[in-house]
Amino acid sequence: MEVLGILPLVMDNSDKSGGIVILDFGSQYTQLIARRIREFEVYSEILPWNATEARIMGPRPKGIILSGGPRSATGPDAPSIDKSLLTGTVPVLGICYGMQLIAHTLGGSVEKGRLGEYGRTRVIFGDGAREKILKGVPDAIDVWMSHWDEVSSLPDGAAQFGVSESGSCAAFSMDDGRITALQFHPEVDTTEYGREILSNFLYDICGCEPNWKLGDWVKRSLGDIGSTVGHDERVICGISGGVDSTVAAVLVSKVIGDRLDCIFVDHGFMRKNEPEQVVEAYKKLNLRIRHVDASEKFLAAVNGVTSPEEKRKIIGELFVRVFEDEARKVGGAKWLLQGTIYPDVIESGFVGGDVIKSHHNVGGLPEDMEMSLLEPIRELFKDEVRRIGPLLGIPEELLKRHPFPGPGLAVRCLGNLARERLDILREADAIFMEEIRNFGLYDSIWQAFCALLPVRSVGVAGDIRTYGETVVLRAVASRDAMTAESVRLPWELIDRVAKRVCGEVPLVGRVVMDVTGKPPATIEWE
Ligand code: XMP
């Protein structure tokens, strides 16, 4: 386990007990809460609002956070909470819907406000008794609000300590600060002193220790892998060249060495020259790699399919079948290793929210799969995975690659998935990437790519009417892919790419730019 030699000196007591459980009531910010908490080096886990008490209390959390949510706490099918979670001894922080739910559950009332509050709002805490949660926070701050309902009367024993500029209850506490309820979102950057508020909750109210260290995580994970994979068992890993599968593969290879076979499946939806580059990079990492060209099979399977979800499911399932075949060829692997990360698990609906997209490495798995799944990084966020890379000796250029979806260009080629259209997309994408690098912008952009639209348009070239394909450029800034903003690329770059794509890629007649954020769009087009 040579990896230990390059680990920083870290504490050994990092584990999941003593962390925070976040109950998800469907807020778009739930993951943000979890990430913020981990930034304070405290483990956080998201559970669905209706998780059993045994599941919630199982990891002995030091605190529970009730997230926001889109529903009304008094509505007929409103997500609820077991009262005993509030009346026990564990500190609770309710945010937005979480606040209203605490009020409603403990005998207060919640009503529709006159106007609702959306966006930046002034909150006044006043100069009364200072709450622990307000340590270092001034008497009035601007916060992020997003609610219609409001708490109109407090439960017995509760004390209001914050009021918003419109006069509605913005914060109350109970049981000497063990329960804190905030109408605003401390996890959102717009909220001034939001980090102080969360830090006060974690360290001062819950007594958490900053022991969620990635170096510790790696050590623990190496131990877990060693005790999970039997001494004579083999593992197969689907690698794509992406950060997640690379980190997962290197992590496991540190423990089981050449009992790991990495399979690179070229499904025909890779970018220009990508298969060769990926295989080369992995050889340098001393991973045993098999390059399987299954493009014909995949193209045949998605022939005529245009529904995004159907495409994803077909590709995901075929992927696993190809693995199973390869597993037999290498002597039968017990385990299928995947670089599934936490947002994949959550977005695929495993935590209780809506299914947004079936992520290829989670939602598309067939039920009768022969291998068992090994997913060592499924509890990590992307930025955490990136930070682990150097601890494992993975070179920067692999870690800095823009994310690429499992189904590849299949979810960027809208409409007919013919080989010729994929080739057009590959060429256009290569030009866009080349120019982004020429402008020195690759490393500062989270993700950039081209998509091909199922729309043709009229043009003119050399006095002749054309009826060409449409390429769309997309470049986004993000921290974790959960939210994203369109990047303002220099006009010279866009102009140059448009001219080159129309001039160099046959059949393209128009280049357009996608400037939509996430939400409301997703990063990929499908
Ligand atoms: P969306 O389109 O959901 O994408 O905003 C968020 C991030 O996830 C990537 N993505 C995927 N990654 N398998 C993956 O490994 C998938 O099926 C998949 N779909 C989307 C996407 O490129 C973006 O970075």
What is the C-alpha separation between 119 and 31, in angstroms, rounded?
Answer: 19
- Residue 370 exposed, middle or buried by CB count within 10 Å (0-12, 13-18, 19+): middle
446 Cα nearest atom in ligand 1: 24
Nearest CA-CA partner of 281 in 304, 305, 300, 262: 262
> Could you confirm whether domain 412-514 is CATH 3.40.470.10?
no
Residue 394 DSSP one-character state: -
Mean pLDDT over each residue of the chain, to the nearest integer = 89
526 Cα nearest atom in ligand 1: 2
**Using a 6 Å CB cutoff, which residues line ligand 1?**
357, 359-361, 403, 405-407, 447, 481, 518, 522-524
The per-residue DSSP string of 330-392 comes to TT--SEEE----HHHHHHTTSSSS------TTTTT--TT-SSEEE-TTTT--HHHHHHHHHHT
Give the pLDDT band of residue 483 (cuts 50, 70, 90).
confident
* Two domains, one topology: 16-205 and 412-514: no
Question: In this structure, which residue's CA is closest to atom 12 in ligand 1?
Answer: 405
Q: How far is the CA of 338 from the centre of ligand 1 (A)?
A: 15
Q: Class of 214-399 per CATH?
A: alpha beta
Question: In this structure, which residue's CA is closest to atom 20 in ligand 1?
Answer: 405
402 Cα nearest atom in ligand 1: 24
Structure tokens belonging to residue 250: 């290197």
pLDDT at 382: 84
pLDDT at 361: 53
Neighbours of 128 (CB within 10 A): 10
- Residues 6+ positions from 466 with CB-CB distance below 8 Å: 458, 459, 460, 509
Contact 67, 24 (CB under 8 A): yes
Return the HEC string of 227-274.
Answer: HHCCCCCCEEEECCCCHHHHHHHHHHHHHHHHHEEEEEEECCCCCCCH
What is the C-alpha separation between 182 and 134, in angstroms, rounded?
Answer: 11
- Residue 462 exposed, middle or buried by CB count within 10 Å (0-12, 13-18, 19+): exposed
Question: In this structure, which residue's CA is closest to atom 7 in ligand 1?
Answer: 481
Q: How far is the CA of 482 from the centre of ligand 1 (A)?
A: 10
pLDDT at 126: 78
Q: How far is the CA of 405 from the centre of ligand 1 (A)?
A: 5
pLDDT at 17: 67
Q: Domain spanning 16-205: which superfamily?
A: Class I glutamine amidotransferase (GATase) domain (3.40.50.880)
Nearest CA-CA partner of 257 in 216, 225, 220: 225
484 Cα nearest atom in ligand 1: 5
Contact 405, 360 (CB under 8 A): yes
pLDDT in tens, 72-102: 999 988 999 999 999 999 999 999 999 999 9
Q: How far is the CA of 347 from the centre of ligand 1 (A)?
A: 10
Question: In this structure, which residue's CA is closest to atom 6 in ligand 1?
Answer: 481
- Record the pTM: 0.71
**Active centre residues (catalytic):** 96, 185, 187
Residue-range domain boundaries for the chain: 16-205, 214-399, 412-514
Q: How far is the CA of 407 from the centre of ligand 1 (A)?
A: 9
pLDDT in tens, 279-296: 988 888 989 999 999 999
What is the C-alpha separation between 151 and 102, in angstroms, rounded?
Answer: 10
pLDDT over threshold 70, residue 258: yes
pLDDT in tens, 496-515: 999 999 999 999 999 999 99
pLDDT in tens, 302-313: 999 999 999 999
Identity of the amino acid at 90: V
Residues 212-233: what's their mean pLDDT? 92
pLDDT over threshold 70, residue 367: no
Task: Calculate ∠ Cα 286-291-296, nearest 5°.
Answer: 165
